Homo-oligomer: A and B are copies of this chain.
């Protein structure tokens, strides 16, 4: 068994098992037997369990960022010199992840989406790694969004971007829950459908007039 093959099998098995049972819920013993590898192989290839977790994320995040930026640049060029349509910006952001569901190699990558959706709310230390890799891309999108919606104050734009990320993360991480709660009416595996629904919803949300300082009712804390 070659070195690279073992490494890849470990990553695939870890990705799937972490998605299904969580990081703490998956032992190295479970991973290595699923990957037909030896227990010590994890420490040889990734130094530690934390190293393995970080590697599971890094392997997918870099291509994901690249595809997002490529599609964003395409949208910018196609619309130049005007700013691109809001919908096209959103699609450039959403499509690269949603596309991972239901495609050929997506059989593996689908598990990764669950992890990615969960990472924002996870208590562990993985957030730092993922966030540092995600930040430049988010910053880039923020700038372009800001040009497309120049009347929106920056904090409001930030909140709306977070709501978008939350909706996307929820669709990824809680897919089976959504299927269950909707009694099958919502299919989280239909990436194209989710893309359509989320783009429509979020585009309208982003275009909403900006929030007024607060209505003249009493404070909500003591209504």
Contacts and interface: CB of A to CB of B under 8 A. Distances in A.
Interface string A193-213: 011111011111111111110
Contacts of A174: 120-121, 162, 166
Interface string A169-212: 11101100110111001100001101111101111111111111
Contacts of A131: 177, 180-181
B158 A166 contact: no
Interface stretch (A2-10, A18-26, A77-85): A18-26
A109 interface: no
Given A121-B174, A163-B201, A173-B121, A192 B180 contact: no
Given A99-B220, A99-B221, A123-B22, A203 B208 contact: yes
Interface of A: 19-22, 24-25, 95, 98-99, 102-103, 114, 117-118, 120-124, 127, 131, 135, 138, 154-156, 158-160, 162-163, 165-171, 173-174, 177-178, 180-182, 185-186, 191-192, 194-198, 200-212, 214, 219-221
Given A121-B173, A156-B197, A160-B197, 18 more contacts: A20-B123, A22-B24, A22-B122, A22-B123, A25-B123, A99-B220, A120-B177, A121-B174, A158-B181, A162-B186, A163-B167, A163-B198, A166-B166, A167-B167, A167-B170, A192-B220, A200-B205, A201-B205
